[in-house]
């Protein structure tokens, strides 16, 4: 029997009516993993034995007719900057070599409480800094649609694992687009929640005012199901919101008719590849044919969103990463003869080039004489970006954009030009700056590579975004139309 | 603003980093071009705009001030050098 490439929702139904056994599904996925993983390299570490043991135990419970949660038995992978007790957290960095987390992240606790089966920890750019996984200190993950190309980043391993059919869903983190961009590149659904909707406890911090955890799935229903499970307040994260969590999955109502859509000109001009733009226009016109309206709007502050982000995020990163000093955990240079030397040598060896580059930029913009010129101004621009979105949502229900300016780029395509790679985050970064929720859904292929449509809503409008995405999925059946070659047996 | 070699040296020292000569040579023009691009923020009149540390002000939820069991923090397992219930580091000087 071939591996299961459907949705978590359908799989849960089949587990309940016993037309599929959990252990069979997990075994088949591991057999598929053995075939495709050498070409994709989505994982840093795997939990094969533990996942099979858990699958066997869950089958006993299903056989007994026990009432199990909807995610029970669903195989899922977790980005390796999110703690799972008993499994190393590396952040794809040499500086965390050998580190074992002493607790579960809250999202891990919640998903394990739902009896989901964790299959392993997925690859990422070191400390989530990058857009391709090329900054991982272990290996570069590759795109299941074309293995000469990157899967995106930083959560590229999580996206590639789902798109290659190795797991049904996965978790990533999104600081400037790190869920939505790889979702777009790999042709899967990627959801970035409102800042505070999902606890960050147990997520290794990159930029604390921007980071959020969210799911990669094949369908919108699965994204709703995961969001329902992981959202909600957490006393371990003072920035998490205790606003009630809607039943995103059971209340999901596909919605298109009457929808007013704004499309910012700043994210729809010459910076977007014509092939990508054409697919997004097709998607917008399909929504229009089904009763929505769309028009281009001006949001001028978005022109400076990338600059704003690359001041604020490195500034916060330089502070957050100061904890990696070789004293309490991780790599230590053993040859240093004094404390300062130990800090310098441990960090010098443990961090890769991109992390060093961002620490330097962050330290510079926070340093005396530059703080007001860069950091304070960037914080003011964040206020303008927030205000621009608030004004747009007075008139439009949702904002839509291409998720990325291009389809997946070639490995090493931006090797010597970090600024060019930063600029490729143009459409995803404004969402993080404004703390908003957004989803990327597949909207077609350009030269055989997936294109993503980004749907952005007001703060805490997760249900609206999921409803609109479900509406789009209803008229453009991407889960069936857009299976990667690795799920079609090619 | 120009980002010079001495700026780079100063920041590397502040950040407790070690950056080899080859990487320094790469970093200098790259960081200069990134900082030049950042100056696009100067096209906006920000004189009347208040800075935001976060996207929106949310109520800060605090835990009750009570001791709760921490469980095993794996201190000795994760420490590079651990002796007599303490992290061991080289001398300050």
Report pLDDT digits (tens) over B21-68: 999 999 999 999 999 999 999 999 999 999 998 888 777 778 899 998
What digits encode the pLDDT tens for the residues A195-245? 999 999 999 999 999 999 999 999 999 999 999 999 999 999 999 999 999
The residue from A7, A154, A158, A229 that is catalytic is A154
Closest CA to B73 of A352, A362, A415, A328: A328
Tokens of A188: 């899967």
Q: Pick B56's closest partner by Cβ from A238, A348, A459.
A: A459
Exposed/middle/buried for A485, CB within 10 Å: 0-12, 13-18, 19+?
middle
Query: Is A141 among the residues known to form the active site?
Result: no
Cα of A313 vs its chain's centroid, Å: 17
Tokens of A483: 């299976």
SS3 at position B20: coil
Question: What DSSP line would sit under A38-82, residue for residue?
Answer: HHH--EEEE-HHHHHHHHHHHHHHHHTT----TTTT-EEEEETTB
Q: Does residue A75 surpass a pLDDT of 90?
A: yes
Tell me what pLDDT residue B54 has: 87
SS3 content of chain A, % helix, strand, coil (to 5): 45, 15, 45
What digits encode the pLDDT tens for the residues A274-301? 999 999 999 999 999 999 999 999 999 9
Give the confidence band of A490 by pLDDT, cuts at 50, 70, 90: low
Tokens of A319: 């502070």
Query: Is A97 among the residues known to form the active site?
Result: no
Mean pLDDT value across residues A33-55: 98
A242 interface with B at CB cutoff 8 Å: yes
Q: Does residue A143 surpass a pLDDT of 70?
A: yes
Measured between beta carbons, the chain B residues lying within 8 angstroms of A331 are 80
> Do residue A386 and residue B71 have CB atoms under 8 angstroms apart?
no
To test the contact with chain B by mutation, choose from A317, A328, A416, A433 the residue with the greatest count of B C-beta atoms within 10 A, namely A328
**Sheet of strand A189-192, all strands in order from the earlier edge strand to the far edge:** A43-46, A117-122, A75-79, A169-174, A212-217, A189-192, A438-446, A449-456, A398-402, A260-264, A293-297
Say if residues A3 and A31 touch (Cβ distance below 8 Å): yes
Give the confidence band of A489 by pLDDT, cuts at 50, 70, 90: confident
> CA of A319: which chain B residue's CA is closest?
B15
Closest CA to B34 of A357, A34, A127, A132: A357
H or E element: which one contains A375?
none
Q: Does residue B1 surpass a pLDDT of 80?
A: no
Tell me what pLDDT residue A5 has: 95
Query: Is A2 among the residues known to form the active site?
Result: no
Strands A398-402 and A449-456, by their bridges, are: antiparallel
Mean pLDDT, chain A, as a whole number? 97
Q: Pick B41's closest partner by Cβ from A196, A304, A340.
A: A304
- CA-to-CA distance for A333 and A287, rounded, in angstroms? 57
Say if residues A317 and A210 touch (Cβ distance below 8 Å): no
Say if residues A267 and A401 touch (Cβ distance below 8 Å): yes
Tell me what pLDDT residue B27 has: 97
What digits encode the pLDDT tens for the residues A347-391? 999 999 999 999 999 999 999 999 999 999 999 999 999 999 999
Q: Chain A 406-425, CB below 8 Å of chain B: which residues?
A: 416, 418-419, 422-423
Strands A449-456 and B82-83, by their bridges, are: unpaired
Measured between beta carbons, the chain B residues lying within 8 angstroms of A322 are 16
Tell me what pLDDT residue A178 has: 98
Say if residues B53 and A207 touch (Cβ distance below 8 Å): no
Tell me what pLDDT residue B70 has: 85
Tokens of A326: 């070789």
Evaluated on CA atoms A186, A191, A196, A201, the torsion sign reads negative
Tell me what pLDDT residue A415 has: 80
Tokens of A380: 């003011």
- CA-to-CA distance for A175 and A279, rounded, in angstroms? 26
What digits encode the pLDDT tens for the residues A426-477? 999 999 999 999 999 999 999 999 999 999 999 999 999 999 999 999 999 9
> Do residue B71 and residue A103 have CB atoms under 8 angstroms apart?
yes
DSSP class of residue A198? B
Say if residues A75 and A176 touch (Cβ distance below 8 Å): no
Chain A / chain B CB contacts < 8 angstroms: 185
Query: At which residue do the structure tokens 């979702």 appear?
Result: A183
Phi-psi group of B42: left, alpha or beta (phi > 0 → left; psi -120 to 50 → alpha; rest → beta): alpha
Say if residues B55 and A195 touch (Cβ distance below 8 Å): yes
Mean pLDDT value across residues A406-431: 94
Give the confidence band of A104 by pLDDT, cuts at 50, 70, 90: very high
Share of chain B above pLDDT 70, in %: 100
> CA of A307: which chain B residue's CA is closest?
B38
Beta strands in A143-198 (DSSP E): 169-174, 189-192
Cα–Cα distances in angstroms (integers) from residue A266 to residues A390, A439, B93, in the given order: 16, 19, 54
> Do residue A339 and residue B91 have CB atoms under 8 angstroms apart?
yes
The residue from A7, A51, A170, A178 that is catalytic is A178
Phi, psi (5° rounding) for residue A401? -150, 165
- CA-to-CA distance for A262 and A258, rounded, in angstroms? 13
Measured between beta carbons, the chain B residues lying within 8 angstroms of A318 are 15
Measured between beta carbons, the chain A residues lying within 8 angstroms of B19 are 348, 356, 360
Kindly report the length of chain B. 93
- CA-to-CA distance for A132 and A283, rounded, in angstroms? 26
Say if residues A261 and A400 touch (Cβ distance below 8 Å): yes
Tell me what pLDDT residue B62 has: 82
Closest CA to A77 of A23, A123, A122: A122
SS3 at position A369: coil
What digits encode the pLDDT tens for the residues A294-319? 999 999 999 999 999 999 999 999 99
Radius of gyration of chain B (CA): 22
Q: Pick B41's closest partner by Cβ from A195, A381, A435.
A: A381
- CA-to-CA distance for B78 and A90, rounded, in angstroms? 12
Q: Which residues pair with A213 in a beta bridge?
A: A173
Cα–Cα distances in angstroms (integers) from residue A113 to residues A71, A104, A216, B26, in the given order: 9, 11, 19, 47
Q: Which residues pair with A446 in a beta bridge?
A: A449
Cα of A455 vs its chain's centroid, Å: 15
Tokens of A317: 């990163």
A129 interface with B at CB cutoff 8 Å: no
């Amino acid at each position: 029997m071939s591996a299961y490439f459907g949705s978590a929702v359908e799989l849960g139904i089949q587990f309940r009516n016993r037309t599929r056994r959990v252990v069979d599904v997990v075994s088949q996925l591991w057999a598929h993993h053995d075939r495709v993983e050498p070409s994709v390299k989505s994982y840093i570490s795997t939990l094969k034995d533990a996942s099979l043991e858990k699958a066997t135990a869950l089958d006993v419970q299903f056989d007994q007719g026990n009432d199990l949660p909807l995610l029970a038995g669903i195989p899922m992978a977790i980005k390796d900057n999110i703690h799972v007790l008993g499994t190393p957290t590396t952040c794809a960095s040499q500086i965390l070599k050998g580190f074992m987390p002493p607790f579960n992240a809250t999202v891990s606790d919640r998903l394990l409480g739902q009896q989901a089966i964790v299959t392993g920890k997925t690859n990422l750019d070191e400390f989530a800094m990058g857009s391709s996984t090329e900054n991982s200190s272990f290996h570069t993950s590759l795109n299941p649609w074309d293995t000469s190309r990157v899967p995106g980043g930083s959560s590229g391993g999580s996206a590639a694992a789902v798109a290659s059919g190795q797991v049904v869903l996965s978790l990533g983190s999104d600081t400037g687009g790190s869920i939505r961009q790889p979702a777009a590149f790999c042709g899967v659904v990627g959801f970035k929640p409102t800042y505070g909707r999902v606890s960050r406890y147990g997520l290794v911090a990159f930029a604390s005012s921007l980071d959020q955890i969210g799911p990669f799935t094949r369908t919108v229903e699965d994204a709703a199901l995961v969001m329902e499970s992981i959202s909600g307040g957490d006393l371990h994260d003072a920035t998490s919101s205790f606003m009630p969590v809607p039943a995103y999955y059971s209340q999901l109502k596909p919605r298109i008719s009457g929808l007013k859509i704004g499309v910012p000109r700043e994210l729809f001009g010459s910076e977007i590849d014509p092939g990508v733009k054409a697919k997004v226009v097709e998607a917008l016109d399909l929504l229009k044919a089904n009763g929505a309206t769309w028009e281009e709007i001006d949001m001028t502050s978005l022109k400076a969103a990338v600059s704003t982000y690359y001041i604020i995020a490195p500034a916060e990163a330089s502070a957050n990463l100061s904890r990696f000093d070789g004293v309490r955990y991780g790599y230590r240079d053993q040859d240093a003869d004094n404390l300062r030397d130990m800090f310098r040598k441990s960090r010098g060896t443990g961090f890769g080039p991109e992390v060093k580059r961002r620490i330097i930029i962050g330290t510079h913009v926070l340093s005396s004489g530059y703080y007001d010129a860069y950091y304070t101004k960037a914080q003011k621009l964040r206020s303008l970006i927030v205000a621009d979105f608030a004004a747009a949502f007075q008139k439009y229900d949702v904002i839509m954009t291409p998720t990325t300016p291009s389809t997946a780029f070639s490995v090493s395509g931006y090797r010597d030009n970090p600024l060019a790679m930063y600029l490729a985050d143009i459409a995803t970064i404004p969402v993080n700056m404004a703390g908003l929720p957004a989803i990327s859904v597949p909207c077609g292929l350009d030269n055989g590579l997936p294109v993503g449509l980004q749907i952005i809503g007001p703060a805490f409008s997760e249900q609206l975004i999921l409803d609109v995405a479900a509406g789009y999925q209803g008229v453009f059946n991407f889960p069936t139309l857009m299976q990667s070659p690795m799920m079609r047996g090619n | 603003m120009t980002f010079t070699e001495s700026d780079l040296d100063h920041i590397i020292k502040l950040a407790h980093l070690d950056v080899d000569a080859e990487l320094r040579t790469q970093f200098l023009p790259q960081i200069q071009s990134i900082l030049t691009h950042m100056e696009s923020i100067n096209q906006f009149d920000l004189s009347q705009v208040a800075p935001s540390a976060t996207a929106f002000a949310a109520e800060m939820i605090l835990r009750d001030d009570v001791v709760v069991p921490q469980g095993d923090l794996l201190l000795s397992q994760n420490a590079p050098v651990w002796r007599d219930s303490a992290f061991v580091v080289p001398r300050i000087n």
